[in-house]
């Protein structure tokens, strides 16, 4: 932090009332119509916070309502199986969130009698709940004086206080947390303050084209005063994403298709998907080796799908086969698989590119 440490930054800004400005702005101009805002139900707030991790609000809205229709309470979610939960997350991405969500619900049911603890430290110890999410739940559901530091809030603080360096790492991250805690309102208003910080980052202090004219903090914002909005927060240096290539086998018997359950750990963990082959593998030989008789092959359009750390390029090939179930799927667990009618297959919890491919085949 080139301008000073958080300890000296905060008192200087307190003359303008950082927390008071955020609270007044949120009550007047913040978001108030999101479905998880009109409640202090910890379950619904927790669900929204997990879904919103690395995901835009517009993408979450439909998933949130569908999820609550099927799992309206924590006890209902805890009583479900993971197989029942995953279809309601399929397409939202970052599937470890869904597995942790389910595990967290079961742990809360057993350890806390189905009631969320209000202590941020206890919340943070639960599966899938980090420090910022724990702070958001504690503040919004229980009125606890707890700080948050998600991506939106890091951007607001970095610009207003001129914080440089990687806000996700080491000393800079520790100082940012110290600053976030020092800025908390001393009296009432932790709910609108917490929501206000989120709203400012999401709707005003955006990464591109921020609306400084609408920001209640603009008059004291170091990034605006020093014309460094484009420089803050400092962009993380990312290595170029490598491309991984593989072949997908679309095995069909009449109107049925073969799907496999992926291992719980790893990419698309716990979802249903298509068998995979190395590009160098002999497709016909591989299929015969698995106890099936291939009758015809058809190359399908190449699919590219981006992950955080790599790009997947898949080469699907549709194969009409005769035989029973692929031997390798019976002998190894996981993965395990089954023949499904194509319409039924599309209702499974599928990775988005696989779901899109099967829907195209349905047409």
- What radius of gyration, in Å, describes the C-alpha atoms of the chain? 24
Give the position of tokens 């035989």.
323
- What's phi and psi for 57, nearest 5 deg? -55, -45
d(CA 100, CA 112): 17
Q: Which residue is catalytic, options 49, 124, 213, 320?
A: 49
> Both tokens of residue 17?
């009332």
Give the position of tokens 């799927």.
329
Give the position of tokens 């988005």.
352
d(CA 347, CA 352): 12
Pairing of strands 243-253, 256-261: antiparallel
Contact 362, 103 (CB under 8 A): no
* 278 is an active site residue: no
Number of Cβ within a 10 Å radius of residue 349: 24
d(CA 335, CA 291): 17
| 102, 190, 315, 326, 328 from 333: Cα distances, Å | 22, 49, 25, 13, 9
For residue 233, whether the previous peptide bond is cis, meaning omega lies within 30 degrees of 0, is: yes
Active site residues: 49
């Amino acid at each position: 932090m080139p301008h000073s440490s958080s300890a000296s930054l905060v008192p200087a800004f307190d003359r303008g009332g950082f927390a008071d400005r955020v609270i007044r702005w949120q009550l007047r101009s913040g978001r108030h119509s999101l479905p998880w805002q009109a409640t202090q139900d910890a379950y619904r707030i927790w669900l929204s916070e997990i879904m919103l991790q690395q995901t835009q609000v517009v993408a979450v809205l439909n998933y949130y309502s569908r999820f609550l229709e099927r799992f309206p309470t924590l006890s209902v979610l805890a009583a479900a199986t993971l197989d029942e939960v995953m279809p309601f997350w399929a397409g939202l991405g970052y599937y470890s969130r869904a597995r942790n969500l389910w595990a967290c619900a079961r742990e809360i049911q057993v350890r806390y009698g189905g009631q969320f603890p209000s202590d941020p430290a206890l919340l943070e110890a639960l599966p899938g709940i980090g420090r910022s999410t724990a702070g958001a739940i504690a503040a919004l559901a229980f009125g606890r004086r707890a700080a948050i530091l998600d991506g939106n809030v890091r951007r607001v603080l970095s610009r207003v206080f001129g914080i440089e360096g990687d806000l996700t790492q080491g000393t800079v991250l520790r100082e940012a947390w110290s600053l976030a805690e020092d800025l908390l309102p001393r009296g009432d208003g932790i709910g609108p303050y917490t929501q206000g910080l989120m709203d400012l980052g999401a709707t005003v202090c955006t990464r591109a084209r921020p609306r400084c004219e609408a920001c209640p903090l603009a008059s004291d914002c170091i990034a605006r005063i020093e014309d460094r909005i484009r420089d803050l927060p400092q962009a993380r240096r990312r290595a170029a994403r490598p491309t991984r290539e593989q072949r997908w086998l679309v095995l069909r018997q009449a109107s049925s298709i073969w799907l496999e359950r992926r291992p719980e750990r790893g990419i698309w963990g716990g979802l249903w998907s298509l068998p995979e082959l190395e590009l160098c593998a002999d497709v016909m030989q591989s299929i015969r080796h698995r106890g099936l008789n291939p009758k015809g092959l058809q190359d399908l359009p190449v699919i590219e799908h981006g992950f955080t750390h790599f790009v997947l390029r898949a080469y699907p090939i549709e194969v009409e086969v005769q035989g029973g179930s692929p031997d390798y799927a019976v002998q190894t667990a996981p993965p395990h698989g089954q023949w499904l009618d194509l319409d039924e297959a599309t209702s499974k919890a599928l990775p988005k590119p696989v779901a899109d491919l099967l829907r195209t085949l349905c047409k």
